[in-house]
Structure 1
């Protein structure tokens, strides 16, 4: 449980770092310098952004030092699209996506996850991050098996004290008669050689009446409500989200290579069929959805092992074989 909490915090840091970068600040060298406490890096960043960078650096150090297995685990590898969290037009009330589901034989110490994030970054400091994540993942360390599981995850303080995966703590409320519960195995999975693709459609939607964040799930079908995160769980997300993201990440013990992502095929030039996101849609305050018609910034950390394509007609491809040893 602690490992997943620390992973969530590492993910929030990566998304926040990249959000600053996509707003026009060249931070890829700055981040590395901050990690090494190089004061020259801070000299190139001014005003509120500088303060946020200091806070993020402190949180990064805290995450690294407090993770029980920090000496053995690498940082997660990402292939993600995301919006930037600033600007008057960044008001989101939900997100919709369809994604393929695949099976892989992973070892303890490896994890592979595909999902969507609905966040509010507050003032940009990770300790105030409100986040909801849903999707599918394979985590032998958590479940004791190598099957894909439907998951939910939430926090209102950057995974510092609040939130958990699935229903491991009070938070997510399962609806009566729901077709699935968080943590359940997804079966069957896609069979790439045979061309049989199994997919799940997920929707996270802020209910206009109650203000609760509802999660919808459908296996090869239209999604239905499976439960909700009460509005009272959150601070910033109690009103709206200001960032959405979707994609995948993998984690690994330093003694092991990175595991496969998605189907295990690269989206460009890889053998086999790459995993996909389709029917990508933003949801507005009235519950109306609209397809994503323009590309979004991407975060890819190990291109030779995992990647994601630009968005075209509300869909994209992602994934990779893994095998990186960092």
Structure 2
């Protein structure tokens, strides 16, 4: 790896978006990280031991190799976080393929944490797919949609956090690496995130690269959002659990709905956006 490539990787590793505590449908000022999606809390016991979602896989366009764009689900508690999903990140992988990824930290990436298994903490237990698996097909606007079901789960307070890919166990994060999530987490997030260096002014696309309200064949979506409660068990996410719909300048989220009679969708929402020059208006 060249010195320039190493610097890109280090910059991307340090990038971390921290959600703002605003109203239920907020508009956050642009920064070098932008997030669009749902912040979820209010579980029956006040804690979470799992998160699951089925998400469409896209290949958003970047404007530089030191940017990334992703669709993810998160379990969080303060500065502790596990994040899994798909990502386009040339600075990390050396190509522009859409890949499976995971990321963890116990101090907001100050001294701990990394992507996939590039540092101790994640234990691989299966070879179903590699942790940097390149998806062979991605969704097309007005065309066929491809998706993946990802889950993080913790069976008991003393067990480790497990990662599942389409129902197959890939590995575990050892509970001892977390300062606050050893037994459970406080909140969940579902959505897309982009990164661009702070001195740049041309953010990448998120999701499908556009946001068309209620147009699921043109906009990235997540469906069958679910969670695990350490006392009550497994449930679909509901409206009363949405603490915040988070948006930023060019990246939107919405059309969230629960359909108890449709097992394909259950609780779902759409997210994404065009990106572009940070001083310009985004047109959809």
After superposition, the Cα gap between the structure-2 partners of 1:131 and 1:198, relative to the gap in structure 1 and judged at 3 Å, is same
Asked if residue 268 in structure 1 is aligned to residue 225 in structure 2, the reply is: no
Which residue in 1 is equivalent to 2:83?
A: 133
- Provide Cα deviations, 1:176-214, integer angstroms capped at 9, x if missing partner: 3x3122222112111224x21110101100122751000
Which residue in 1 is equivalent to 2:153?
A: 205
> SS state of the match for residue 117, structure 2?
coil
Which residue in 2 is equivalent to 1:299?
A: 246
Which residue in 2 is equivalent to 1:325?
A: 278
Which residue in 1 is equivalent to 2:131?
A: 182
Structure number with higher helix proportion:
1
> SS state of the match for residue 315, structure 1?
strand
Q: 2:36·2:246 contact (CA, 8 Å) conserved in 1?
A: yes
Asked if residue 6 in structure 1 is aligned to residue 14 in structure 2, the reply is: yes
Separation in 2, partners of 1:148, 1:158: 25
Which residue in 2 is equivalent to 1:102?
A: 58
- Provide Cα deviations, 1:282-311, integer angstroms capped at 9, x if missing partner: 112269321112161111111xx2200042
Larger radius of gyration: 1
Asked if residue 147 in structure 1 is aligned to residue 104 in structure 2, the reply is: no
Aligned ranges 1:1-326 → 2 under 5 Å: 1-8=9-16, 11=17, 14-15=18-19, 18-19=20-21, 21-22=22-23, 74-83=31-40, 89-106=45-62, 107-121=64-78, 129-176=79-126, 178-193=127-142, 195-208=143-156, 210-218=158-166, 223-253=167-197, 254-268=199-213, 273-285=218-230, 288-294=233-239, 296=242, 297-302=244-249, 305-313=250-258, 314-326=267-279
- Shift in Å at residue 136 of structure 1? 0.7
> SS state of the match for residue 3, structure 1?
helix
TM-score of the aligned structures, taking structure 1 as reference length: 0.72
After superposition, the Cα gap between the structure-2 partners of 1:97 and 1:109, relative to the gap in structure 1 and judged at 3 Å, is same
Separation in 2, partners of 1:167, 1:202: 17
Separation in 1, partners of 2:137, 2:40: 32
> SS state of the match for residue 78, structure 1?
strand
Q: 2:157·2:183 contact (CA, 8 Å) conserved in 1?
A: no
After superposition, the Cα gap between the structure-2 partners of 1:101 and 1:88, relative to the gap in structure 1 and judged at 3 Å, is closer
Structure 1 unaligned regions, length at least 5? 33-72, 122-128
Regions of 4+ moved over 3 Å: 253-256, 269-272
Separation in 2, partners of 1:227, 1:110: 28
Separation in 2, partners of 1:95, 1:153: 15
Tell me the C-alpha RMSD between the 2 structures: 2.7
- Provide Cα deviations, 1:247-293, integer angstroms capped at 9, x if missing partner: 11112244452111111121328896111010001112269321112
Structure number with higher strand proportion:
2
After superposition, the Cα gap between the structure-2 partners of 1:282 and 1:271, relative to the gap in structure 1 and judged at 3 Å, is closer
